[in-house]
Amino acid sequence: MIYVGIDWSDEDHKVYLTDDSEKRLDAFVILHTPEGVSELFARVEKFAKSVDDVLFAVEKPSGLLVSAILDRGFTLYPINPKAVDRYRDRFKVSGKKDDFFDARVLANILRTDRHIHKPLIPDSPVCRNLKILTRQYESLSRLKRRVMNQIISTLKDYYPVALELFGKIDQPITIDFLKRFPTAEKFSKLTISQIKNFLKKHHYPGVEKKADELFQLAKTPHFQVEEFVVESRSLYLSTLLTQLKNLMNALTTFEHEIEKILSQHPDKDIFLSLPGSGNLTSAKLIAEFGDDRDRYKKVGAVQAVAGSCPVTRQSGKYRNVYFRKACIKPFRNATNQFAFNSIKNSQWAKDRYKKYVDSGKKKTHALRCLSNAWLEVIFAMWKNRSTYDEQKHLKIVKEQFQGEISPSFLTC
């Protein structure tokens, strides 16, 4: 066998080749270009009779280089960077590090321990598309929250009464109102008829009552702010409002696209059957679980990857349980989001969450425990390709635990 370790970077990649005798066959640098990838394959194939004789190891499990290797028919193992860091000490304890050395470590990980690592099996294009869309959606959502926080902070600095106008910042009527009346002075000069016309234009329910409320706010005394502060703050506010509106439109576009792609995935009915799991949450769960039913041998592997189960450290009489930090964060967010939604849509989830809280857990801890419990259910559904049945689930829970808390419940 030929083992190829690649230390990945943006512009070029360090490559190290070895065989079962740990002999250095080759070591070179390729550019991150189509020509560089062609050079990689040409030099590797000098030592191999077929693609089956070559195993690649990289730290980054995605990207153009990874796609090219898989498209060529080679087997590729993604190695966690933390694992690579631990393996370095097998070769050098001095802490010395360089890129070729990392490539050598990656190659030798496969030579000695590939049985404890799993080769990368790509998901279907539909599933990979969902993963890209849902993760980009989350990134845009975080950006939107940051912009909203900046808007709130800006308004507090010169126009605090604006925070009392409408219930939410991220809605068209609030954005349009603040764009038209970006200062307390302009707001205070509004007449009742102008306010009514604005509300009617935006089809606001209960125009008379809301108009009177806004008019009273307009006539209350406001903070006296220096003119140059008002001008600069209002200019910044206008910029932030434009960003917020663009982000809201972008998120709507992403939601439509995610719904369209979700309808093409064969597992959509499985995840949509979960209580409280809409299109967006279902798409996130499908993207994180993937298509390969052999990826996770047991539910504990899923719970570890999703970060819902704790980490136990034990040595002699010493034993502590810690929050699991090392996990796939989008997976954790998706399961927590679903668990939160399920509390309103599943009596079992509501009761279980209440028991967690009553046992003394904080609400965030209780929610994580609930998502850990849900993963046991979802994993079985995903493995068996079956939809959710609340009554069947409750019957199984009752038979197993007679309505009591399970042994794993208290150690979650």
Model confidence over 367-391: pLDDT tens digits? 999 999 999 999 999 999 999 987 8
Can you list the alpha helix ranges (DSSP code H) found in 125-182?
A: 125-158, 172-180
pLDDT of 399 > 70? The answer is no
Q: For residue 196, is pLDDT > 90? A: yes
- Position 411 scores a pLDDT of 45
Q: In 10 A of CB 281, how many CB atoms?
A: 21
Q: For position 97, what pLDDT does the model report?
A: 66
* The CATH number of domain 2-116 is 3.40.120.10: no
Nearest to 296 by CA among 204, 190, 382, 395: 382
How far is Cα 401 from Cα 357, in angstroms, rounded to an integer? 19
Q: Give the tens place of pLDDT for each residue, 274-292.
A: 999 999 999 999 999 999 9
**DSSP3 helix / strand / coil % (the chain, rounded to 5):** 60, 10, 30
Segment 46-55, tens digit of pLDDT: 998 888 999 9
Q: Which residues of the chain form CATH 3.30.420.40? A: 2-116
Judged against a pLDDT cut of 90, whether residue 224 lies above it is answered with no
Sequence-separated contacts (24+) of 190-194 with Cβ below 8 Å: 190/214, 190/215, 190/218, 191/215
Q: Which amino acid is at 175?
A: I
Arithmetic mean of pLDDT over the chain:
89
Task: Determine the Cα–Cα distance for residues 386 and 289; give it in Å rounded to an integer.
Answer: 15
25 pLDDT above the threshold of 90: yes
- pTM above 0.95? no
Q: What is the pLDDT of residue 382?
A: 93
CATH architecture under which domain 128-260 falls: Orthogonal Bundle (1.10)
The boundaries of every CATH 1.10.287.4070 domain in the chain are 128-260
Looking at residue 175, its pLDDT comes to 95
Q: What confidence tens digit (pLDDT) does each residue in 81-115 have?
A: 888 888 887 777 666 666 688 899 999 999 999 88
Is the CB of residue 65 less than 8 Å from the CB of residue 8?
yes
The pLDDT of residue 16 is 94
pLDDT at 174: 95
List, in sequence order, every residue forming a beta bridge with 320; answer none if it has no partner: 313
Q: Tell me: the pLDDT tens digits for 126-172?
A: 999 999 999 999 999 999 999 999 999 999 999 999 999 998 999 99
338 or 400, which is more confident? 338
